[in-house]
Structure 1
């Protein structure tokens, strides 16, 4: 028996989706493939609330983080840094020789919109990149407030890493004025790893067409040309597409969008209640907590290894240690994808029992 995953990616995959992923292969230049591709894109647009482009790249989200900078930055990029993955996006700019500055705050904090406004007012930047849901710290950025700031700077591309939020936390991409919004399939989409779902605005597509060195693999213009034919430029992760189509159909036509967003909010509320009752404390500053995962402070002497080991041994499930610079200071519990409120309740009962039995307390 495998361990049921309550970690912030990869996540548990429903049997129905595993079955879809295991569908017999088809050629990626055949009508059979194009039928699935063409049926999936409109569903993705509904989930992302967009009338603009949605493209599929066979790579981790990191690939499109890099591609966004290469396709869109012609002057200088400004990036928020408040955790391991936002730091990664800033480092990617450096590895590509792209001039970049960072708006950095301590881990657990969110970059404030007034600081963003002050930086953009200098006129130095043509791209702004933000991580919406910092997986390492559980901080949810004030995307709506960033959107209001960006309206003052229409020539600045607004790029968002929504890796651990997309399909779990409602993101109205067109209303927010996003130019790029990206996420891998292994988190809130509830699928195995392998693809990056990417919304790209018409404005961003027009700018990408003028890029001098957009790169070969994550090339927005090339990808759109093939997407218009219901294909991808390079061999896609066909099994993941089968799963993505099945999941999109479930989200839109079975569970329903509003129900999905509400379920994630309900799981967040339940988790926060348990954290308080168990004597723990959330790591993010109040008011900026993720909807889809909780990053929790480890009290002095807290034996996370024993807790997780007992969860695996007794109940065949696991939660996650901290990540990056705060690995030993925190642990994380995901409440995303197709996890239910009842499953979260059961998890907390198991944790409470183990803490009592092993005398490992908060």
Structure 2
């Protein structure tokens, strides 16, 4: 089965051997307070920073998912409100969840084909955390590095948090331009679902210490204190952390991965543009995602294509949110090989023959 679903997506084929090694090395039953886990955790943190170009003074945390990070950040870094800038379903869900915890939180929506309007954003002066999604999985859009830099320059005194679920470990993100970045590993990391990675700047840690919120097992200040010794507040997904360690050791640096994905994304967009009854959902090239390609068509055609593809052992991604019925999505993640995309292209050429 060729899996182009944008998460959970294809895992690296080496995972099979990593799993056997984990069993042989006793990882599956190692105590999470023991020396074996601590050494592994320390090695993973070092590899994440080195391979993904994360600043050395940023703190790395393990969570259960990116969704859990929504909760951690709102409860541990805000007392009154956060402001959420979004153009798709996942950014909006983060906002709606924040409102449950902090009812004064605000949302600012912008259009799918529009760059984030940084200069026009009306962010309240009492906002404690600005939140946005770098790569909106639901519609295949991205916030560019230039836009993130402009946001950073305009709101220097406010913490900025970024959902990078569909881009971390795939794109060479400039993490220094925001305070918090997080992702789940079932996309560009090429790992099984069940683990989240969060990177926090010294400013974010300082804010967590100031608030000193300790009412939850995943309170950020408690997580920070445990990770000083490369431990967690809870029993973590030890196996997935081991798989992350092995994957990072065997992968190239993020700059090379970014270039490969950028080139392949352009090839995919060009390929799908040739079909008259398919339309790229994102018309503005500047804000098109490099890791999730969203294709729009009639509901009948989308349904037929997905069924025909599945018959040929090709899994296309469903549409999501407002685009659930009239779009399909194609993941452009590092674990998916070039020859698999060639097979995908052959399917579409045959479909239209």
Per the normalisation by structure 2, the TM-score is 0.92
| Aligned twin of 1:318 | 315
| Aligned twin of 2:133 | 131
Matched, 1:231 2:231: yes
Q: Secondary structure, in 3 states, of the residue corresponding to 1:15?
A: coil
Deviations 1:15-54 (A, max 9, x none): 2123324522122112111121111101111204211234
Q: Secondary structure, in 3 states, of the residue corresponding to 2:211?
A: coil
Aligned partners of 2:115 and 2:109: how far apart in 1? Answer: 9
Matched, 1:305 2:297: no
Q: Secondary structure, in 3 states, of the residue corresponding to 2:107?
A: strand
| Aligned twin of 2:261 | 264
Contact 2:63 2:198 in 1 (8 A): no
- The 1:98/1:214 distance shift into structure 2, 3 A limit, reads farther
Contact 1:18 1:243 in 2 (8 A): no
| Aligned twin of 2:332 | 335
Q: Which consecutive unaligned segments of at least 5 residues does structure 2 have?
A: none
Deviation (angstroms), 1:290: 0.3
Contact 1:281 1:297 in 2 (8 A): yes
| Aligned twin of 2:155 | 153
| Aligned twin of 1:76 | 81
Aligned partners of 1:308 and 1:276: how far apart in 2? Answer: 18
| Aligned twin of 2:33 | 29
Contact 1:139 1:284 in 2 (8 A): yes
Deviation (angstroms), 1:104: 0.7
Contact 2:79 2:102 in 1 (8 A): no
- The 1:147/1:330 distance shift into structure 2, 3 A limit, reads same
Deviations 1:308-355 (A, max 9, x none): 2222222x2201120012111211011113123332122111122134
Aligned partners of 1:258 and 1:59: how far apart in 2? Answer: 27
| Aligned twin of 2:10 | 12
Instruction: State the Cα RMSD in Å.
Output: 1.8
| Aligned twin of 1:40 | 44
Deviation (angstroms), 1:130: 0.6
Aligned partners of 1:239 and 1:110: how far apart in 2? Answer: 39
Deviations 1:143-168 (A, max 9, x none): 43233233343321100000001011
Q: Secondary structure, in 3 states, of the residue corresponding to 2:85?
A: strand
